[in-house]
Amino acid sequence: MSSETLTEKPMRVSHARNWRGFGWGFVAKLLLMMVVNAFGVTALLTAWSAEQWTFLIAGAVLLLVADVVYFSRRTVPLKYILPGLVFLLIFQVFTMGYTAYVATTNYGAGHNVTMQQAVDAALIQDERQVDGSPVYPLTVVTSGDTLGFAVTIDGVVLAGSADEPLQAIDGGVADASGRPTSVPGWDIVSVNTLLSDQALAQRVIDLRVAVSDDANDGALRTRDANSASVYRSSLVWDEATTTLTNTDTGVVYTPNEYGTFIGDDGSSLPVGFYVNVGAENFVKAVTDKDYATPLLRIAAWTFAFAFLTVASSFLLGLLFALIYNDERVKGRAVLRTLFILPYAFPAFMSALLWRGMLNAEFGVVNQWFFFGAGINWLGDPVLAKLAVLFVNLWLSYPYWFLVCTGALQSLPSETAEAAKLDGAGRWRMFRSITFPLLMVSTAPLAIASFAFNFNNFTIIYMLTNGGPRFADASVPLGHTDILISAIYQISGIAGGRADYGLASALSIVVFVVVGIVSAIAFRQTRKLEEIQ
């Protein structure tokens, strides 16, 4: 028997011994992957129906990778890494990538749809009842949560919804007046239901059901939920020339480079579509007279706010940590608990509480500490900034109190004892030993705290809402706004004209700034560790 045969035989025996069949672990994994694949296929079908090809391809790749990884014996490390990688791709990489994409468009109020969607919206907004249009007896129908209309045209029962144009219904039955009484696949809504449900009745009034796939054929609408007529827009869409023509006035609307339909008479349609504008949003932030000066002030205040908050809260927390780390202080446990109470309350609730306390008319700060003086803490630009810094100091110092207390208790006692033997005093020991060693462990946390306060939206929004507003600016920005709250205002979420493109561009700038500052700070921290 050859040596090759002798080496192969134990390997076959080893495989036979290791095989134990399909255990409970495999069954659990199989069931879990069945659920994952079910959700994945559903998402792929949704992307397919919505013609979202990027999501379709990316989803198919992720699903295929997941199946290969979890049903292969050679990818054990990936079994643990893959979930984290998927979440990273979805919630970090994709989010930043999509933000960067929006930053290169004029996506915002009046330009938040595609060209075809803008055309459809323009046609709908310009709809008028067709002169001489017949009045069709109407039956309101539902299919699950879908609301629709059913009518009889030329003896054929048709039904449709907001998403589907009228289609012939096999087996549909109508009465002598032409009103559908049986619509297979749909449930008929009774008149009593419409009279008792005002919300449903309003949905019926707002509903439009396209007569066909061609938007120029018009749509069925109703005013009384009892009869319907054909409404058609006076605008006609010409896909070949990408123009909208008003058949009443003869004005031709052509889209410009910014996605706005401009008429040959100089007028424009209220509905536009988003287009790629390159780096225009970034240029706009520093050159547009409405944004450049306010954003420059806000950027300077953002850096000052983040730096002053970290510096003041760190120093105050360190001071209390040094005091209450001394064994001679009685009741240290109780006092430490009292000093960290602000850290135990949610920040937004504390900010709202302080907003009321700092009220100029009835706030307890003015009443108790300033003899009822009407100091406008939140209405004066300088006082509002001081109020924000003070309230954030009150919220932040307990964190540093805890961090510095732990760091002080972990410092090596041998170094302090050696310094004492050399005759070093308390200040000398603190300046040359305690503080440098403390900075080694707290510097990374200070960098993280700076990044957090650079984007501390909660304290600004809940305490001052960015106010008081700039008196010399037309945009809704204020003296206490930081970049993140300015982005919120520009995005239009709180009301006003939305400019998602500019907001996304500023988000990218904030991301880059925080990244650069953090990288420089971490590099200096490593140098500090090397010195120690």
- pLDDT tier for residue 423 given thresholds of 50, 70 and 90: confident
**pLDDT at position 55, please?**
86
**What does the alpha-carbon distance between residue 483 and residue 131 come to, in Å, rounded to a whole number?**
54
Q: What is the pLDDT of residues 177-188, one digit of tens each?
A: 999 999 999 999
Q: Among 16-30, 400-414, 479-493, whose mean pLDDT is lowest?
A: 16-30
Average pLDDT, the chain: 88
Is the domain 285-531 a CATH 1.10.3720.10 member? yes
Q: Which amino acid is at 258?
A: Y
Tell me the C-alpha distance between 476 and 286, whole Å: 17
pLDDT at 484: 95
Q: Got the DSSP string for 336-372?
A: HHHHTHHHHS-HHHHHHHHHHHT-TTT-HHHHHHSTT
Q: Which residue, 494, 465, 478, 480, is CA-closest to 355?
A: 465
406 vs 526: which has the higher pLDDT:
406
Q: Where are the domains of the chain?
A: 26-103, 115-272, 285-531
pLDDT tens figures, 274-307: 999 999 999 999 999 889 999 999 999 999 999 9
Burial class of residue 487 (count of CB atoms within 10 Å of its CB; 0-12, 13-18, 19+): buried
Distance of CA 321 to the CA centre of its chain: 38
Mean pLDDT confidence for 62-78? 88
Quick: pLDDT tens for 510-532. Answer: 999 998 988 888 787 776 555 45
Q: Round to whole Å and give the CA distance between 115 and 102.
A: 16
Give the tens place of pLDDT for each residue, 19-52: 455 678 778 888 989 999 999 999 999 889 877 8
Residues of the chain with pLDDT > 70, as a percent, come to 94
Model pLDDT, residue 430: 85
Model confidence over 212-262: pLDDT tens digits?
888 778 899 998 889 999 998 889 889 899 999 998 889 999 999 999 999
CB contact set of 163 (below 8 Å; sequence gap of 6+): 146
Residue 494 has pLDDT above 90, yes or no: no
Could you report how far apart the first and last alpha carbons of the chain are, in Å? 67
